[in-house]
Structure 1
Amino acid sequence: MALIPVAEAQARMLALRGPLPRESVALVEALGRYAAHDILAGRTQPATDLSAMDGYAIRFAERPGPWTVVGESAAGGGLDRALQPGEAARIFTGAPVPAGADTILVQEEATRDGDRLTMTGEGPPAIGAHIRPAGGDFREGALLLAQGSAIGPAAIALAASGGHGTLPVHRRPRVALLSTGNELVPAGEPTPGALLPASNGPMLAALLGTAACIVTDHGIVRDDREAIAAAFDRLAAESDIIITTGGASVGDHDLVLPALEQVGARIDFWRVKMKPGKPVMIGTLRDAIVLGLPGNPVSAFVTAMLFAKPLIAHLLGAARPVPRPATARLAKPLPSTGNRAEYVRARWAEGAVEPLSGQDSAGLAALVQAELLIIREAEAPPLPEGAEVEILPFA
Structure 2
Amino acid sequence: MSVMEKKELKATVPTTKGKKLDLFRLILIMGLGACFLAQVWRQLVKFYKRDTTFTSTKLSVDHLLLPAISICAYQGFKYEEMANLGMTIDQWVLDEMNERWRRSTYSVEELVKSISFVDHEQKRLHFEVAAVDTPDIRIVETNNLEQGRCYTMNLMLNYRKKFQFMTVRFKIPEAVKALNLYIHDSGEEIIGLAGNYWVQQPFSILIEPDHRYNFELNKEIQILDAQRNCTSHGSNHHTNRCILQEIVKSDCVECHYPYYSPFDARNQSLKICAKISELRQIRNCIAKTIGRARVNTCHDSCSLTRFGVQWRANYIPGTPTNETLGFFYFKEVEEEIKEEYRLFDFGAILAAVGGSMGLFLGFSFLDCGVGVRNWVRSSWKK
Pick the TM interval, shorter chain.
Answer: under 0.3
Structure 1 or 2: more helix by fraction: 2
Larger radius of gyration between Structure 1 and Structure 2: 2
Structure 1 or 2: more strand by fraction: 1
Q: Which has the higher contact order (CA 8 A, sep 6+)?
A: 2
